[in-house]
Structures are given as C-alpha cells and as structure tokens.
C-alpha cells in the first residue's frame, strides 16, 4: 500500500494499518504527521465508472451542509479521485478523509430515531442533487441484469440439487429459491413507483455515531451502490434488518417520516421490497461463489442467515407498514 500512496498521494505516506471486515472492499487506516485518512481498495470489480459515479454523488452532497458527515474524497496528485493499482490486479483505490465517530454496538437501538432522521434527510437531498452522470448500478428490481450469472436455471440447480459443500443447507436454499421465484414474478409493478437516487445499503455497518452521544448519527458511509431506484427501497433495506426490534422500527419510522412522506402505494409495496433486498443479497453471494471470489463456507453462512430473515418476513410484516402509516400521520 505504501507504493500506491507514494505514487498517487505522496503527502500521505505514513503508517498503514489494515482494517478487518468488509465483503466488497479492503480498507486501510493511514496516519501521517498527526493526520488520518482511509484508503479503500475496491475488490469486487474493476469498473472505474462505478467509482466515479459514487464520488460524483459525494461531491454533489458536500456543499449541502447536511447535519451529518458523508465521505470526502482526497484527490491524487494528478487531480483524480481514483487510482489504479500497479500490481497487475486491475483494482482501483481511493483515499478518504478520516471521520470521527463510533460504530454502533451490536444490540444498540438508541440511535434509531437519529438514523431515521438522517436517512430521511439524505433521501430528500438525493432527490434533488444533479450528478451529470448516468448511474452504473442497476436498480434492485433489475435482478437479471445485475446478476447475469444467476439465471433461473442456475438458481434452481444450485438450490434444489446443491453441490456437496452446500448440501447441509438444502432446506435453507429451498426457502431462498421459493423467495427468488416469488420476487422474480412480482417485479413489474415496481417500475411505476416513485424513483430517485438512493444510497441502497444503509445499515448499522455503514454509519458512525457521535463519540460524546451514541444516540446521534455522526456520519453515513459507503455510497458505493448509490443508484437510481425505487425511493421506498431506502427504508425497506433498513427496516428489513430490524424485524426483531419493534422499538427500533418505531423510532426509525418516526425519524424518517419527518422528511419523507411515502405514498400509500409505496407503503403497500414495502413487504415485497424487503424480500427483494434479501433475494438481492443472496444473488450477490451466489455470484461471488460462482466467480470463485468466496468459498462455499461464505454462501453456506449467508443461506442460513438470509433464510431465517425471510421466514420472519413471511410470517407478518404488516406491523412495519402500520408503524410507517402512524409515523406519517403524526407528522401530518
């Protein structure tokens, strides 16, 4: 990593510490002369235009004086926001300003009202900004285009007659296959719902809390998958991870609806959108498995987790819709 700093960000040559975790990128903390930055290596693609769109969104948000931070890109000596590694991998890297803040504790929910408030403010801002570029990532409902390796035949074979390393989760794969079929046959109407730019991956791992008040969001992170999509997908992604936490759902909805008033059609579509999120994540990890990025263990673990989450969605998520309606009514 020192070589890429020397070549593209020579003012930041210093101590480099790898950060653990992360599915799609490798992250390093950089310290130099009392300053700190974050170096990101994009591991799952070699498409410069995807990164440049992400950075264009961040640059459009920067002047808006949002009440929370978003990533700030540090340009290379050539004035670019992205640089290609010279190790033959074809991967790209970028450098961000380090932002103060703490990741939420595993079971923490005190920040959910602030999270909803921040997500609503961001959604409102993303509806207005002018990017001047065409989004590269497809909307969530464009599964066939987003995951060309995951044809219906491939998913059927993988789930119904899994290879030996996945046989122990055949029951879970069956649940995922049924959800995939349901979603694949129910996507047409989504194109009629309101669309705008959405972050698309807001969750507890993509935010920071204020160090002196962990009930307040300090920053929203990782705009890598920001694209033009169904507006209601933003809260659907977040709420799909909160189904075992009714108080968290309530607080998030109250914060979010201060800024965004979803239509009746959008709220009615919420169960489908939450399932779509789970199926999308499944296809993401199936693609990584088929490409050889991950071994079978990763897909096995994801199958167990996602099938359990889908079971909770199938049981009943009408109460989540009701929380959104109540919160919307309170604002009005």
pLDDT in tens, 10-22: 999 999 999 877 7
Domains recognised in the chain with CATH numbers:
2-97 (3.30.200.20), 112-331 (3.90.1200.10)
Are 187 and 141 in contact by the 8 Å Cβ rule? The answer is yes
pLDDT value of residue 58: 98
Ramachandran category for residue 281: left, alpha or beta (phi over 0 → left; psi -120 to 50 → alpha): alpha
- Condensed to tens digits (0 to 9), the pLDDT of residues 304-330 reads 999 999 998 877 788 999 999 998 777
Report the run of H or E that residue 141 belongs to, with start and end: none
pLDDT value of residue 86: 87
E strands along 155-255, which residues? Answer: 195-198, 207-210, 213-220, 227-230
The band of 332, judged by pLDDT with boundaries at 50, 70 and 90, is: low
CA neighbours closer than 13 Å in the CB half-sphere of residue 123:
29
Residue 64 DSSP symbol: G
Listed residue (83, 89, 35) closest to 55, CA to CA: 83
DSSP letters spanning 198-209: E----SGGGEEE
Residue 259 C-alpha from the chain's centroid:
21
pLDDT value of residue 29: 95
Share of the chain above pLDDT 70, in %: 99
pLDDT value of residue 88: 86
Listed residue (79, 78, 128) closest to 260, CA to CA: 128
pLDDT greater than 70 at residue 122: yes
Q: What whole-number distance in Å separates Cα of residue 238 and Cα of residue 249?
A: 9
Report the run of H or E that residue 167 belongs to, with start and end: none
What mean pLDDT do residues 248-269 have? 96
Arithmetic mean of pLDDT over the chain: 94
- Condensed to tens digits (0 to 9), the pLDDT of residues 28-70 reads 999 999 999 999 999 888 899 999 999 999 999 999 999 999 9
Q: What whole-number distance in Å separates Cα of residue 41 and Cα of residue 214?
A: 29
pLDDT value of residue 282: 98
pLDDT greater than 90 at residue 210: yes
Sign of CA dihedral 188, 191, 192, 193: positive
pTM for the complete prediction?
A: 0.94
Listed residue (111, 129, 110) closest to 119, CA to CA: 111
Listed residue (147, 266, 122) closest to 201, CA to CA: 122
Are 99 and 210 in contact by the 8 Å Cβ rule? The answer is no
Are 319 and 281 in contact by the 8 Å Cβ rule? The answer is no
pLDDT value of residue 45: 85
CA angle at residue 313 from 308 to 318, to 5 degrees?
155
Q: What whole-number distance in Å separates Cα of residue 175 and Cα of residue 130?
A: 41
Task: Kindly give the interhelix angle for 170-184 and 270-291, rounded to the nearest 10 degrees.
Answer: 120
250 contacts: CB under 8 Å, gap ≥ 6: 323, 327
pLDDT value of residue 331: 63
């Amino acid at each position: 990593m020192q070589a890429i700093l020397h070549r593209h960000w020579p003012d930041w040559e210093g101590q480099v510490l790898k950060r653990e975790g992360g599915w799609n990128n490798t992250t390093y903390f950089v310290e130099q002369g009392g300053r700190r930055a974050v170096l990101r290596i994009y591991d799952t693609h070699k498409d410069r235009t995807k990164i440049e769109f992400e950075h264009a969104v961040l640059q459009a948000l920067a002047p808006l004086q949002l009440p929370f931070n978003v990533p700030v890109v540090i340009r290379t000596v050539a004035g670019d926001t992205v640089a290609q590694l010279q190790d033959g991998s074809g991967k790209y890297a970028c450098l961000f300003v380090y932002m103060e803040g703490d990741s939420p504790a595993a079971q923490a929910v005190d920040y959910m009202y602030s999270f909803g408030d921040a997500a609503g403010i961001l959604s409102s801002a993303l509806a207005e900004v002018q990017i001047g570029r065409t989004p590269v990532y497809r909307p969530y409902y464009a599964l066939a285009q987003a995951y060309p390796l995951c044809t219906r035949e491939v998913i059927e074979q993988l789930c119904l007659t899994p290879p030996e390393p996945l046989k122990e989760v055949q029951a879970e794969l069956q649940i995922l296959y049924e959800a995939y079929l349901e979603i694949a046959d129910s996507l047409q109407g989504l194109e009629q719902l309101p669309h705008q730019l959405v972050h698309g991956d807001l969750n507890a791992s993509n935010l920071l809390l204020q160090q002196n008040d962990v009930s307040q969001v300090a920053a929203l992170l990782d705009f890598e998958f920001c694209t033009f999509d169904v507006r209601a997908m933003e809260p659907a992604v977040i709420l799909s991870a909160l189904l075992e936490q009714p108080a968290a759902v309530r607080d998030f909805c109250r914060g979010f609806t201060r800024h965004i008033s979803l239509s009746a059609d959008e709220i009615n579509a919420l169960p489908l959108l939450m399932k779509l999120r789970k199926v999308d994540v499944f296809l993401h990890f199936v693609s990584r498995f088929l490409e050889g990025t991950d071994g079978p263990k990763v897909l096995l673990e994801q199958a167990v987790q996602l099938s359990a989450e889908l079971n909770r969605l199938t049981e009943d998520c009408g109460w989540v819709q009701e929380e959104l309606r109540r919160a919307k009514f309170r604002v009005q």
